[in-house]
Amino acid sequence: MKTDQGAPNATWMANGTQWPGTWIDPVENHRKGHHAGIVKVVLDHPIRGHNLSLKDSTGYSLNFGVIDVRIPMLVYVSREKNPSYDHNKKAGALNAQLRASALLSNAQFIINFDCDHYINNSQALRAAICFMIDQREGDNTAFVQFPQRFDNVDPKDRYGNHNRVFFDGTMLALNGLQGPSYLGTGCMFRRLALYGIDPPHWRQDSITPKASQFGDSTLLLESVSEALNQERCTSPPSLNDTYVAEMEKVVSASFDKKTDWGKGVGYIYDIATEDIVTGFRIHGQGWRSMYCTLKHDAFCGTAPINLTERLHQIVRWSGGSLEMFFSHNNPLIGGRRLQLLQRVSYLNMTIYPVTSLFILLYAISPVMWLIPDEVYIQRPFTRYVLYLVVIILMIHMIGWLEIKWAGITWLDYWRNEQFFMIGSTSAYPTAVLHMVVNLLTKKGIHFRVTSKQTTADTNDKFADLYEMRWVPMLIPTMVVLVANIGAIGVAIGKTVVYMGVWTIQQKRHAAMGLLFNMWVMFLLYPFALAIMGRWAKRPIILLVLLPVIFVIVALVYVATHILLANIIPF
């Protein structure tokens, strides 16, 4: 935490001592990015047997006398960070926690969610375990993924944060194959799957954990053997100095060097989308996963409602997807036990940013209106029109099926389409450019961490929504918007000038071109609102301003045409 002046606040414990994970005055070996590992037992292991509340329930609507009030063990773990070692970001932190939890409880199931998420429905844990112990596929289920839900998104979801088509449609449909991919948060794992162990159907009779795989820790290797044999120590660990020292060892910065951690064991390193690749590695071993939706959302969190931050998030995701495609984790060559259609689904997850180049080309094509006496939809032959109609009908049929399957509304689907157009003209081309630079220069891609809240306006919950921060990746979208606004104005001007000259077929072509312009404008409507900043609180201003601009451009075109006609005889 920081004060308004920027000075950090110390975090104090109940006994008056400073929390070891913070520092008032950073010193050598104890500062951000360079500090020792920290293992702090906040709540000790609960006592054996039930501990029922002795509180008299008289006067209360609930009978607290039959409730077990024991609180599970709670341990704070902070891995060591040293500038001499790559800490591997989120994946490194998750792997350190995975090793530490093996020494503390060695529980079969692990649930993880981001720091900006919280458990909204405790029954989600029971629902996930039901999938894990199912008699049919439970033993082969590696993880149960829950949808991401956000409670800070503006009511109109201008930038498609809820993404209901993906979370409620695509991911749920993958239950019919090997299951959904891991999405980085709101997921319950089977410990053995994270260890890189094959599912029971493919597993060897005997597996001996090796230090070259899991690291040089006797206690950790013993815990892996116990997990393989489905054994679990029911007595709490003895948290003596030797045991705590071993825990600090497994969370040290150098522990996973020269081991399989980050490659074949744990969460995958050296990629922006470590979640997708980790799920891909698990599915490639033959495991399956399940997608679970509940009436009351399992987890909730925060999302970036500012356009720039939202696009930075999309750049990181799409850039990581392209990294996956141009690596040994390519779905075409990796994942030896992937089902065919599961492989296709992963392939779609890795190459979708490339399609934006064609969308950007089509969206910028209205500049052809500026060519004298030309319209850019010319003489479509019958076979092409038939092909185009079939494609459009198929797309809308798929959209209708997604809506019915996901149980969402047409408005949700439309908002998703609008943000897809914005992303396809900004974030996705930027990710493709980053990947091209990476392939040519062999330099890694560094993506910024998404900021979920960037303003301190406590009076307006959605203040970030109206903040416009210009970055280079917004230039293509701005060009597309300006090109279509200008094209519509020129089209109106050409209609005035050539109305008596054009044939019926030319008028039909011009109408089709104008319809395309209007469709692009409707898709970019949220971007136009973003440009307006705080004026976007009154969208009526935009609805009045655009027709005025169209008329001005049309008048300029007509005046220019008349001027040139008088100067240059045609």
Output the known binding site: 89-90, 114
- Would you state the structure tokens that stand for residue 213, as one six-digit string? 């795989």
Residue 99: CB atoms within 10 Å: 28
> Which residue in 99, 101, 76, 79 sits closest to 90, CA to CA?
79
Q: Which of 331, 380, 320, 329 is nearest to 353 (CA)?
A: 320
Which amino acid type is present at position 553? V
User: Which uninterrupted H or E stretch holds 430?
Assistant: helix 427-441
SS3 of 353, please?
Answer: helix
Q: Which residues contact 76 (CB under 8 A, 6 or more apart)?
A: 21, 38, 39, 40, 41, 42
Question: In one letter, which amino acid is 517?
Answer: N
Q: CA 237 from chain center: how many Å? A: 37
| Binding site, annotated residues for Mn(2+) | 90, 114
Distances (CA, A) of 180 to 62, 188, 278, 394, 408: 39, 13, 12, 24, 19
Neighbour count for residue 228 (Cβ, 10 Å): 17
Element (H, E) at 545: helix 540-567
CA angle (479 as vertex; 477, 481 as ends), nearest 5? 70
For residues 148 and 362, what is the distance between their CA atoms, to the nearest angstrom? 32
Q: How is residue 12 written in tokens?
A: 């104090």
- Residue 385 CA to residue 152 CA, distance in Å, equals 44
How many Cβ atoms are within 10 Å of 133's Cβ, its own excluded? Answer: 11
Q: Which residues are annotated as a binding site for UDP-alpha-D-glucose?
A: 89
Q: 85: burial class by Cβ within 10 Å (0-12, 13-18, 19+)?
A: middle
Identify residue 17 by its one-letter amino acid code. Answer: T
Look at phi and psi of residue 272 and say left if phi exceeds 0, alpha if psi is from -120 to 50, else beta. alpha
3 state DSSP class of 112: strand
**If you count them, how many residues does the chain have?**
570
Among 176, 161, 187, which Cα is nearest to 276's? 187
Dist CA 409 CA 407 (whole Å): 7
Q: Six-digit token pair at 134?
A: 């199912």
Tokens describing residue 347: 């392939």
